[in-house]
A and B are shown apart, each in its own frame.
Chain A
Amino acid sequence: MDAVLEARGITKLFPGTVALDAVDLVLARGEVHALLGENGAGKSTLIKCLTGAYARDGGTVLLDGRPVAPRSTADAQALGIGTVYQEVNLLANLTVAENLMLGREPRRLGLTNRRSACREAARMLADYDLDIDVTRPLDAYSVAVQQIVAIARAVSLSDKVLILDEPTASLDAAEVERLFGIVRRLRDRGLAIVFISHFLDQVYAISDRLTVLRNGRNVGGGPVTEVDRLALINMMLGHDLAQAESGHRTRAPGNGPPAAQFHDFGRRGRVEPFDLTVRKGEIVGLAGLLGSGRTEMAEVIFGIDGHDSGTAEVSGTARRLDSPRAAIRAGMGFCPEDRKTDGIVADLGVRENMMLALQARRGWTRPVARREQDRMVADYIRRLDVRTPHVEKPVGELSGGNQQKVILARWLLMNPGFLILDEPTRGIDVGAHAEIIRVIEELCDRGMSLLVISSELDELATYSDRVIVMRDRRQVAELAGAEVSTGAIVSAIAAAPQQRTAP
C-alpha cells in the first residue's frame, strides 16, 4: 500500500486520563478513510495530534515516509495536512476572494491587486464547479458553498492529506451529494481524505476504508466492504450481540392515560416530524448514535428549539410548546445532556440550585420562605441521597453523580408530570449510576412519565417500557415490551436504510 500518512502508536495523555492509547492510523494515497467512534472515543484528539493543535505524548507520524511533528495548524498546513471543520473556519465578514487569498494576496505597489486576486480565486473555485461572485461576502452564500470554499482553500495550501471533520452535519441531501462529488474527485487526484461523520449511510457511500476508535484505542477497521453495519456498530458501542441479554424490567406496561402526545412534531433541519405518546407512569427510552437526532428531539419537545410542525398535548390539553417556559408551565422538566454548561450553576450552592426552577415559576415577587426551602431541600437530599457536606456547598465542587441528583431534585420539586432526561448517567461513577437508575424507576412507579435518552443501551433496555430508535434525525423503530433488548436496539440502529422498520 502506498501510504501518504502513517501514524503509529499515537498516545496522548491528559491529566488523569489517557485520551489516546497507542492509536494507529494509516492513510493510503487516493483513498477516503472514515474515522469512526462514539463521543469521547478520541477522534478529535487524534485529529488534533495530526494537525499540530496538540503535541502528542508518544508515537510517530510519517508523512511520505519522513517523520513529522507539526507544532501548529499552520505548520501542518505547510507540511500538506489541511483540515476543514464542520463550523466553517473562514471569515464570514470577508469576501470569498479575500478568504481564499488571505495570506498570499497578489500585490501591486504594496496594495492588494484585487483584480488578479479575484481572478485567481475564481480559477481555484472553477476546479470545484463553483461559479460564484467572489467579490461578495462569504456569508452571502449557503453553508454548503462555504464548505466548498473552505475545502478549496485547504487543498490549495495542503495537497497531501485533507481532513473533513463532520463536513455534512449541516448540509441537505443534494448538498451532501455535491460535496461527495468533490471528495471523489480529490481522491482521484491522489489526496488521502479523512472523513469523520456520525452518518453511517454517508460513511458507506463515500469511504474506501475505515478505522474505528473506542475509549482512545483502535478497535477495528479495514476496507468498508469487509465491515458490515452491525459489526461496525458493535465496534463503536463496544457491545457484543452474543453478550447475555440483561433482564428486562418486569412491570405491567403502562396502560394509563397519555401524559404527553405529539403528532407530526418536528423542526426542519433538526429532527424530522415524529409521533410520540408517553403514557402516565411509562418510561420511554430514546436510543441512537450520536447525531441521530435524540437530543434534538428532546430539545424540540421542551421548546428549546421551537417546533415548526405538528401539535402537542400534555395531560389531555393542547399546548403550544415554543419555549422552555411554556414547557415548564405545561408540567414538563428537562435534565440536559451537558450538566456543566446547561444544567448546574456551578458557583451557587446546592439549595439555590435546587430552588431555581421552582422560584422561577413563582416569580420573584413570591419568594419561597427560607424555612420552607430548607425543608424541601433537606427532603430531596435525603430521598435522592445527595452526598454534600452542607446545603450551601457550591454545586461545581460536587461529583458528577451528585450534580445530576441536584438537577433531578430541581425538577422533582416542581412535581412535573413529564420529565425528559438526556444522558442522565454520563460521566457518573458506578455507584451513583445505580442510584440514578433506582430513582428513575421509582419516579415512574409514582406515576411520572419519563423520556430517557442514553447511550448506555444495556441500561436503557433494563428500565424502558418502550424504546424508540433514532437514525438520521428520524424515528426508525419502536420496540415495546418483550422486544426491548440491547441486541434488538443495536440491530435497529444498524439496520440498513432500506430495511427501515416503519416508525
Chain B
Amino acid sequence: MSARLLPFAVTCAIFVLAYGLAWLQFPAILSTRVIGNLLTDNAYLGIVAVGMTVVILSGGIDLSVGAVIAFSGVFIGVMLRDTGLHPYAVFLLLLAITTLFGLAMGAVIHLLEMPPFIVTLAGMFMARGAAYVLSIDSIPIRHPAIEAIQSAYWLMPGKGRLTLIAGLMLLTVAAVTLLIHRSPFGTRVMAVGGDARTARLLGVDVGRTTVAVYGLSGFCAGLAGVVFAVYTSAGYSLATVGTELDAIAAVVIGGTLLTGGSGFVPGTLIGVLIMGLIQTYIVFDGTLSSWWTKIVIGMLLFGFVALQKGLVQLRTGDRAARRRAARQSGRHRATA
C-alpha cells in the first residue's frame, strides 16, 4: 500500500475495531438504526469537516466555520420570522453569503499574504458578532417545508433511517472526493499544499486556488449551517462554539496531514464517525460522563499526529541530505 493511504487505512481499522469492541459489549449497537442516527447526528459536522479538509490540504486552516454555522442558523431563523421568503430561497441566499465570505477571506489571505490562522480568526469573530447582531435569543425555525425535510428519510434494511440531511452529507463527501482526487482543481490544491512556491513555478495560479479553497469552505460551512438549523429547528448565536476544532480533529484523525498536500477526503468522514461512535458508546453505557468523548478524541489526536510524524520521517529520511544541499546552494545563490 502506498504510504499516502496508510493513515486512511489506520483510521478505518480503528473505526472497525472500536465498533467491534462496542458491539461485544452492547450487541444492539450494530444495527442500521444506530448507523442512521450516527450519520444524522453528525451530518453538519461531516459537511463542515469536508470543507476543512480541502483547506488543510491546501496548507491553510479555517477557524471561522463554527461561527458561520451559528450565523447561518440565526440568519435562517430571522429571515423566516421577519420576511415572507420561502426557506429554499433563504437557503440559497445564505449559501451565497457564506461562500462570498469564504472567498473574501481567501482573497485577503492571498493578496495581503496574511497567515490563514489570523484572517479566519478575524472571520470567526465577525461571523459570531453578526449572529449576535441579528439576534441574541434562540429563534425557533418552523416552516412546513423544513418539517418536510426533517421527516424525509429512506428506510434502510433493519428499520434504520437514512435521513435527507445524512444523505446530503454523504453526497457532499462524494462530490468533494471527486473534486479533490479526480479533478485538475484537486491537483492544484494538493500542489499548493505541497509547496506553494514550486507550484507557482510550475504554472499553478496559487491565488485563484487559495481563494477558491476558502470559498468552498465557506459554502460547506453554510450548508452545514442549513443542516444544523434543520436538525435543531432553531437558530442560536451561541451554538456550535468550537465546532471548527472538532472539524480539524476529524480531518487529522481522518489521516490528512496538517501541513497540507497529503490526505484523503473520505478519511475525514471516518474521522467524524469515530468521534460520533464514542458519543454513541457513552449513551449506550449510560454511566460515563460525556466529557470522556473529549478525552478519547484528545488521545486519538495525539496518536495520529505521532503516526503521521513517523510516516513523514520514514518518507523523508533520505531527503534530509537533499534539503541540506538545497539550503547550501540557496545560500550560495543568495550571495551571487
Contacts and interface: CB of A to CB of B under 8 A. Distances in A.
A202 interface: no
A269 B336 contact: no
A87 B332 contact: no
Interface in B203-229: 203-204
B201 A86 contact: no
A41 B336 contact: yes
B203 A89 contact: no
B198 A290 contact: no
Interface stretch (A103-111, A203-211, A364-372): A103-111
Given A44-B336, A77-B203, A103-B203, A87 B325 contact: yes
A42 B198 CA distance: 23
A112 B183 contact: yes
Given A39-B332, A44-B336, A91-B195, A73 B182 contact: no
A105 B187 contact: yes
Contacts of B336: 39-45
Interface of A is mostly: loop
A166 interface: yes
B187 A94 contact: yes
Interface stretch (B20-28, B130-138, B157-165, B316-324): B316-324
B262 interface: yes
Contacts of A43: 336
B261 A98 contact: no
B235 interface: no
Given A43-B336, A93-B190, A102-B191, A139 B319 contact: yes
Contacts of A107: 184
A163 interface: no
Contacts of A39: 332, 335-336
B326 A112 contact: no
Contact of B325 (A91, A153, A169, A427): A169
Contact of B316 (A41, A90, A139, A143): A139
A338 interface: yes
| Contact-size category for B | 35 or more
| Contact-size category for A | 35 or more
Interface in B157-183: 178, 182-183
A74 interface: yes
A269 B182 CA distance: 39
B174 to A, nearest CB: 13
B102 interface: no
Contacts of A305: 324
A290 B332 contact: yes
A394 interface: no
Given A39-B332, A44-B333, A91-B195, A137 B322 contact: no
Given A89-B201, A112-B182, A114-B182, A143 B322 contact: yes
Given A105-B184, A110-B183, A111-B178, A169 B329 contact: yes
B199 interface: yes
B335 A40 contact: yes
Interface string A330-349: 00000000100100000000
A86 B322 CA distance: 9
Contacts of A114: 182
B262 A93 contact: yes
A139 B313 CA distance: 12
Given A94-B191, A136-B2, A338 B316 contact: no
A143 B324 CA distance: 13
Given A112-B184, A143-B322, A91 B191 contact: yes
A112 B64 CA distance: 31
11 contacts: A41-B336, A45-B336, A77-B203, A89-B202, A92-B319, A98-B190, A103-B202, A139-B315, A139-B319, A170-B321, A338-B331
Interface of A: 39-45, 73-74, 77, 86-87, 89-94, 98-99, 102-103, 105, 107, 110-112, 114, 136-137, 139, 143, 153, 166, 169-170, 269-270, 290, 295, 305, 338, 341, 427
Smallest CB-CB A-B distances: 3 pairs: A87-B326, A93-B194, A93-B261
Interface of B: 2-4, 178, 182-184, 186-188, 190-191, 193-195, 198-199, 201-204, 261-262, 315-316, 319, 321-322, 324-326, 328-333, 335-336
Given A92-B319, A105-B187, A137-B4, 18 more contacts: A39-B335, A40-B335, A42-B336, A43-B336, A86-B325, A87-B322, A91-B194, A94-B190, A102-B191, A103-B203, A107-B184, A111-B178, A111-B182, A139-B316, A153-B202, A169-B325, A169-B329, A341-B331
